Each structure stands twice: as structure tokens, then as C-alpha cells.
Amino acid sequence: MRVQVLLFGVLKDFLSSPSQMLELPAGATVETLVGHYRRLIPQMDDLSSKIAIAVNGAYAKPADPLADGDEVALLPPVSGGMEPASSPASGAETFQACAQVALVRRPIDVAGIVAALKAGEDGAVVVFEGTVRNNTRGRRTLYLDYEAYEEMALRLMQELARQAVEARGVRSAALIHRLGRLEVGETSVLIAVAAAHRAAAFEVCRWLIDTLKKTIPIWKKEHFEDGAVWADGEPFPAGLAEKGTAGA
């Protein structure tokens, strides 16, 4: 059978390609595929406890079977968000009329998004705005590049918004992440939460950015005066990383 393999972040650099078509024997599993790439990419031994696998846009386990035509993504630890795959620069889209979820490739309109979020019943609006700083551990940053597994990232961001509104006591939320090249001082991610009371707004805003950073397939490449590196990603939550996948 034949599957398409998507590579992101540092894994893409190791193979100098964002994707490959791979022939696998009948009955192959996620574990089979990971074993192939462990042999192909020696550095995967150091990443094995951190990499997650997605099959057709959903996190998968080592024993999950693969089928002809599957899309399999190898996901190094993520560093942060997304927009509709069909319209990559379309901006925020409405989520059940009470949330905005998007990946964009242009500057994020923070003031406009926050203003549109507010309503008369809100007693609090809490905003987190992540920006590009001018250095990392003493190295001067020139600019950043963000990439995402876009279809999967958007779906997971929509699920976070749904949980925020339906289960965590806020009226509305916005999750906007920018992709592509960002200069120092530009906004990379915006989380805004509107609620009747400040306690819920603060709590949910913090939960949204922390969860996004750990679970949404977005990666950041930092460009310095003396080179470029993929940022060390946040560890995947327990159960998502492919730890335990054998590399025979």
C-alpha cells in the first residue's frame, strides 16, 4: 500500500522535503512507518519520546493500522496555531457565532478582533498577545517563520474554542495565530476571552494559550545573525507522543 507522509519542523529539514510517498507492506501500522523513518533519520532516536503521529488529521497510536491512501504526519514538539486550508489568508472565521478561530498570513488586527468580541453582557475581556522578541537566550533574533499542519491545527483550535464556550463558562473567545515570516515586535498569536466575570476570563485565557502551545501542530523557526534553528517545542501531553514505538 502507498501512504503520503508529511514532515514538519526539524524533521522536514533532516530530509530536505516537506512530504514523501512511502510504499508499505499490507498490514503495516503506525509503528512500521515510524521504524522506517528511524532508520532514515538517525536524529529521531533523540526525538522518539517527543514526536507525535497523526493519521488523516487525528493523533494516532503506534499499533493503529494504516490503509492505502492514508496521510500520515510526523509531528515534532510544537511551538505554538492557523487558518482554513481552503482560504489561507481569509482571517478569522465565525465559530458557532460566539468564537473566532483562524490562521492568518497577514498582521493580526488585535484591536478590531477584541472590539468585535465584546458584548453588553460581558463584565471582563482578557487578552493575551504573543509577540516576537528581539533575542533568544542572548542571540539576536532577526525574524521568525511559523508553519502549521493547517487542516489539523484549525480543527483542534475550533475544539478548544468550543470547550471554552460550552464547558468553561465564558461567552466568547478568539484564537488567532499567524503563519509565515514575522518581524520583531509583530503579533504571532492572539487569545481573547469575554465573560461575565473576570475570574473565568483570566482562567480560560491562560488555559487556551497553554493548551494551544502543547497540542496544536504549529512550529517556529528562529532566524539569528549567526544561523537558524527550530525552536525547542513544548512536550506533547502524555499519550500523544509516540513513546514506546519500536524502531525495528
Q: What tens digit of pLDDT does each residue of 151-177 get?
A: 999 999 999 999 999 888 899 999 999
Q: Which pLDDT tens digit goes with each residue over 210-223?
A: 999 988 999 999 99
SS (H, E, C) 128-193: EEEECCCEECCEEEEEEEEEECHHHHHHHHHHHHHHHHHHCCCCEEEEEEECEEEECCCEEEEEEE
Angle, CA 82 vertex, CA 120 and CA 161 arms, to 5°: 40
Query: Which residue ranges does the chain devote to CATH 3.90.1170.40?
Result: 93-230
What is the value of pTM for the model shown?
0.79
For the segment(s) 93-230, the CATH number from 3.90.1170.40, 1.10.10.60, 3.40.50.150, 3.40.50.620 is: 3.90.1170.40
Q: Which residues of 183-209 are buried (b: 16+ CB within 10 A; e: fewer)?
A: eeeebbbbbbbbbeeeebbebbbebbb
Q: Which fold has domain 2-75?
A: Ubiquitin-like (UB roll) (3.10.20)
In tens, the pLDDT along 51-78 reads 889 999 999 999 999 999 999 999 988 7
In degrees, rounded to 5, the angle at the alpha carbon of residue 18 between the alpha carbons of residues 9 and 147 is 45
CB 220 within 8 A of CB 230: yes
CATH 3.10.20.30 domain span(s) along the chain: 2-75
The pLDDT of residue 48: 57
Closest CA to 43 of 66, 18, 10, 84: 10
Task: State residue 41's pLDDT score.
Answer: 85
For 7, list phi and psi in degrees, rounded to 5.
-120, 140
